[in-house]
Copies of this chain bind each other. A is one copy, B any other.
Amino acid sequence: MSVTSPLGFTAAGVECGLKDSGGRDFAVVVNNGPHYVAAAATTANRVYAAPVQWTREVVANRTLKAVALNSGGANACTGDAGYADTVATAHLVAAELGVIPADVAICSTGLIGELLDMDAIRAGVSSACSKLSDDGGEEAALAIMTTDTRPKQAVYSGDYSVGGMAKGAGMLAPQLATMLVVITTDAVLNEDEADAALKVAMGQTLDRIDSDGCMSTNDTVILLASGASGVHPSPEDFTEHLIEVAQSLGEQLIGDAEGASHDIAVNVHGASSQNAGLAVARAVSRSNLLKCAVFGDDPNWGRVLSSLGTVPESVAPFDAGSVDVAINGVTVCRNGGVGDPRELVDMSPRQVNIDIDLKAGAESVRVLTNDLTYGYVEENSAYSS
């Protein structure tokens, strides 16, 4: 059910011919109110797609009534013609829904540098808007998939609900990790509450996954609040449940990353600050050598040390000669040197936990990544995406 679990939302996902591979490729999520509060986060890439530009503009007043999303084309690096196509799509959706174009956000994902097939888009808009239903979330989640092998959805249900869907399997790195995410809620939120909750939740979840170190041109995360439950939770309560849903989506993204055979949690402990811990966790998460070793079931802690050593002392103060590293619970590195025998480490589970103790403070940070495999190379060499 995902995005249609909360009250006040309908959705649809249809096939309109954008994806060469066939399958659903166009989705619409509609907020039917009574409130239309929205917040969004988009890619930090200086090269950003036309739909990102449009979405930034229309979410500026913190109101949205619908989000239209397509796979089968990123509409990035497509110049004025690409931007005109995004605007036209918003106009088409607005006309079908009887709203104004400025209430419609657009998200696209797929190959960079090609114009969208607007005949297909027109067919998709018309078809999706005619099929909107309050259990259309599942189909919408299917329609935004690219190299994803399965849809990603998450729900929190209490006296109000939060529902989310996500796509993303490669070009996954903050900030943001490369993804399209729509999260809906029927909680009553004002604009500031929505903004603040999204910012906090993103920082702790979707900004802390890193599949391949590659930042996308199209990343978009949108939060829509309908207020239909009539429940006005405290900011802390809502943020907690938003984090829960966003964390689940983030884990699902990493769990389906291109070609991955291991999910890797890089847990940094004893950091002097969150930023210090994050810098260390990100450096370790981006080591191709470590990621290859994990693919080969090799608890090669030297590659953990050599990557954390690249973080400048000004960013993360710690003594390299004091660092402990445990892989799946075995402390293979103690005080920067040889620890327990690496033969004791069981690398067979899909989940691999790398625990790094910097012994420089009290902060802990977790970043999720995955291994580097033949499958990743194959998916990203054999297909333009």
* Selected interface stretch from A63-71, A155-163, A271-279, A377-385: A377-385
For the side of the interface on A, what is the size category?
35 or more
CA distance A47 to B320 in the complex (A): 6
Q: Which of A358-385 contact B (CB under 8 A)?
A: 372-374, 376-384
CA distance A198 to B321 in the complex (A): 30
Among B77, B306, B307, B384, the residue within 8 A (CB) of A298 is: B384
CA distance A241 to B46 in the complex (A): 40
A282 close to B (CB within 8 Å): no
Chain B residues with Cβ below 8 Å from A345 are: none
A92 close to B (CB within 8 Å): no
A230 close to B (CB within 8 Å): no
Q: A112-B302, A113-B338 are in contact. Are A309 and B381 (CB under 8 A)?
A: no
Q: Is the CB of A310 within 8 A of B171?
A: no
Which residue of B is nearest A215, CB measured? B310
1/0 contact trace for A291-303 toward B, CB 8 Å? 0110110101111
A308 close to B (CB within 8 Å): yes
How far does the Cβ of A179 sit from chain B's closest Cβ, in whole Å?
14
* Selected interface stretch from A32-40, A247-255, A329-337: A329-337
Q: Is the CB of B288 within 8 A of A380?
A: yes
Q: Which of A109-167 contact B (CB under 8 A)?
A: 111-115
**DSSP class of A's interface residues: helix, strand, loop or mixed?**
loop
Chain B residues with Cβ below 8 Å from A217 are: 302, 305-306, 309
1/0 contact trace for A331-363 toward B, CB 8 Å? 001011110000000000000000000000000
Q: Is the CB of B308 within 8 A of A47?
A: yes
Q: Is the CB of B302 within 8 A of A333?
A: no
CA distance A111 to B287 in the complex (A): 16
A61 close to B (CB within 8 Å): no
CA distance A376 to B113 in the complex (A): 28
Q: Is the CB of A338 within 8 A of B79?
A: yes
A45 close to B (CB within 8 Å): yes
Among B115, B288, B301, the residue within 8 A (CB) of A288 is: B288
Which residue of B is nearest A79, CB measured? B337
Among B213, B306, B372, B379, the residue within 8 A (CB) of A45 is: B306
Chain B residues with Cβ below 8 Å from A292 are: 376-377, 379-381
A62 close to B (CB within 8 Å): no
Q: A214-B288, A377-B295 are in contact. Are A306 and B47 (CB under 8 A)?
A: yes
Q: A217-B305, A286-B213 are in contact. Are A298 and B78 (CB under 8 A)?
A: no
A216 close to B (CB within 8 Å): yes
A212 close to B (CB within 8 Å): yes
CA distance A376 to B291 in the complex (A): 11
Known: A288-B288, A374-B374. 14 other contacts (CB 8 A): A47-B308, A77-B333, A77-B338, A82-B337, A112-B302, A112-B305, A112-B306, A171-B289, A213-B288, A215-B307, A215-B310, A217-B306, A293-B381, A300-B384
16 cross-chain CB contacts under 8 A: A45-B306, A46-B308, A47-B308, A77-B301, A77-B333, A78-B337, A79-B336, A171-B306, A213-B286, A217-B302, A217-B309, A288-B372, A288-B380, A292-B376, A298-B381, A373-B377
A residues in contact (CB < 8 Å) with B: 44-48, 74, 76-79, 82, 111-115, 170-171, 212-217, 286-289, 292-293, 295-296, 298, 300-303, 305-311, 313, 320-321, 333, 335-338, 372-374, 376-384
